[in-house]
Chain A
Amino acid sequence: MKRQIPLFITFFVGTLLIFSVFIPPMETWGENFTLFFDIIAVFAFFLGAGNLVRVHVGKLKKRKADWGFSIVTLIGFGFMLFVGLLKIGNPGGIAADVTAPGSWFQEMFNYVINPLQSTMYALLAFFVASASYRAFRAKNREATILLIAAFVILLGRTPLGMLLTAWIPDSLSFFQIPNMAVWIMNSFNLAGQRAILIGISLGVVAMSLRLILGVERTYLGGDDNG
């Protein structure tokens, strides 16, 4: 029973949503699912938050390496719950939107989360550089093709690409790098994307059917588990 009921739920809900697309009175069921999902996700968040607290309190108790930083995490987490759930400093009071400008909650976002976010994001510039460097040293043919295409597109998007090939006469304008870049994006790139997208959606169809039909059931905890 412990296994049969979840399998039945998956089958029932999955089938219902597939057919709902073709039955107008059921057309909003997909949206309802998103709404249900959002509500379930908040309840699950209690488990996640509980886990966060448990892990860091555990580190603290056992004086594991870097336990001091766990205190910082716990204080940060607790502080955000305090200012957010009680809407401390919110100009509109408890009825206002939690992210209202001027509230402590939003100020924390602006001055702590936002710079951290954008800096972490900006690190990408360095990682892109190191990845490109490695691709440069690529030994196989595939990586070389990838690199050449990347190089043409990159040049095509910078003024340098224009300058380098500006001497090419207009009758041969195709060979000017910015034009080549546009051409690659509209032909090769379009073809590749199309093949990938068709493949992906067929993959999704097959995987979804495996899940709905109960052929794939690892997400319920394997085959032999009561």
Chain B
Amino acid sequence: MTPTRLHIFRVISISTICVLLLASLALSQDEATPTTNLSTEIDTVIIEVAAPTSLIATDHKYDNGERINLQWVPSIDDLPGISTVVGYRIYRQDDGGAAEAIADLPAKANHYRDENTELGHTYIYSVAALTDGAEFVSNPTESISPEREWIDFSKRYLFLIALIVGGAVIYFIEIARRGKKLFVRKIAGLEAVDDAVGRATEMGRPILFIPGIQDMDDVQTLAGLTILGRISKTIADYDTEIFMPVSRSLVMTAGREIIKSSYQTAGRPDKYSDDMVTYITDEQFGYVAAVDGIMVREKPATIFLLGAFFAESLILAETGNYIGAIQIAGTARPAQLPFFIAACDFTLIGEELFAASAYLSGEPKQLGSLKGQDVGKAIAMVILVIGALATTIGTAWNIASMNSLVDILKTIFSTS
């Protein structure tokens, strides 16, 4: 073998050994990482985008220390139309721990409110711009701890106005309690209550009281029940039969308590029976099916529909109309009021439902509260006139004083 040939042979053998070594190395790596991944890595083209910038974390004002607000400038590659940025991911380090993703947001997002922070903890945030398969993380924020505020000053005007109106209600109750006579105009629907009860007594037929289909956690149900308190006194005095089917168990309990005591007050406790108030079912239309049945079978002379009503309002009121009962209805749901107006003899519109029990009681202190309510309405009317005129004049002739007055009004009455 010539030296040249020997040299070539050595080169080939060393190369072969190297190739074999490399191949065996590559094979052992293959076992750890599946081949598909290799090919994906080769196929995927990672598009670089700029990370979001100017990320700032601030404590959310007027909370119990459970919120931190984040704000950032979106990636400059997050362009309108076709964008390579598909969204943003918020990362949070809690007390120096590892960064955890806490939320994913759509493209173009530039703020986020973390509502799950805890008092005493320290947080560091960062935001990543997401593309298909990669993330580009912003600089982290300074560490921040949420703070607790004891009074929500952002609601100061709400507090002030509520205090004025609430104060007026309490003031007039107090004035009336001291014996000052207060005038309250007649409310037609309520003037008719006694007659309606009297009619049932004369005809010897029962009175049906329907307190709506909501539970005790609805103010309309409470209003209906307070009216029941007044009506049931008259009913007990006249010794008329009353029947009250309900769709909520709690309302049943309260209804029984009210009627029972009216009978006790009237000196007829023996006439009271728990059967006067019966639970039917919580199901809206199941209740309606049963009450409709009761109406056509028992033929009550008078029907009261007072409380929260939904679509069933018209089914009930029309059936009542069909059997020729006198109907007095009331609800605070504007969508159902037209049906009551069309099908009932008297309708208490919204506010009148809440005023009814005070009106029916005839007690001065109760009537006093209605006066307080009127103070609220007077304020609303004054603001309406001043506000509408000032803003119209201010806008049309650009008068600074008018515009600043409007700004003040808008600030006071903004609830957001």
Q: Which residues of A contact B (CB under 8 A)?
A: 21-25, 27-28, 34, 37, 40-41, 44-49, 51-52, 55, 113, 116-117, 120-121, 123-124, 127-128, 130-132, 134-135, 143, 146, 150, 192-193, 196-200, 202-211, 213, 215-216, 218-225
Q: Does B223 interact with chain A (Cβ within 8 Å)?
A: yes
A117: nearest chain-B partner, CB-CB:
B285
Task: State whether A220 touches B257 (Cβ < 8 A).
Answer: yes
How many residues on B have C-beta within 8 angstroms of the other chain's C-beta atoms?
88
Q: Does B105 interact with chain A (Cβ within 8 Å)?
A: no
Q: Chain A contacts of B338 at CB under 8 A?
A: 146, 150
Task: State whether B357 touches A205 (Cβ < 8 A).
Answer: no
A224: nearest chain-B partner, CB-CB:
B265
What's the A-B contact tally at a CB cutoff of 8 Å? 221
A226: nearest chain-B partner, CB-CB:
B264
Complex Cα–Cα for A132 and B321 (A): 13
User: Closest Cβ of chain B: how far from A186's Cβ, in Å?
Assistant: 16
Complex Cα–Cα for A127 and B253 (A): 32
User: Closest Cβ of chain A: how far from B327's Cβ, in Å?
Assistant: 12
Contacting B341 at CB < 8 Å: which of A55, A146, A224? A146
User: Closest Cβ of chain A: how far from B265's Cβ, in Å?
Assistant: 5
Q: Does B11 interact with chain A (Cβ within 8 Å)?
A: no
Task: State whether B166 touches A209 (Cβ < 8 A).
Answer: yes
Task: State whether A123 touches B62 (Cβ < 8 A).
Answer: no
Complex Cα–Cα for A198 and B374 (A): 11
Which one of A24, A121, A124, A224 has the highest number of Cβ atoms from chain B below 10 Å of its Cβ?
A24
Q: Chain B contacts of A44 at CB under 8 A?
A: 248-250, 252-253
Contact residues, B262-289 vs A (CB, 8 A): 262, 264-265, 274-275, 278-286, 288-289
Task: State whether B311 touches A200 (Cβ < 8 A).
Answer: no
Task: State whether A205 touches B373 (Cβ < 8 A).
Answer: yes
Complex Cα–Cα for A198 and B233 (A): 31
Q: Chain A contacts of B226 at CB under 8 A?
A: 207, 211, 216, 218-219
New contact pairs (7) apart from A193-B334, A202-B377, CB-CB < 8 Å: A45-B282, A48-B252, A51-B252, A146-B338, A199-B377, A216-B366, A220-B257
User: Closest Cβ of chain B: how far from A135's Cβ, in Å?
Assistant: 5
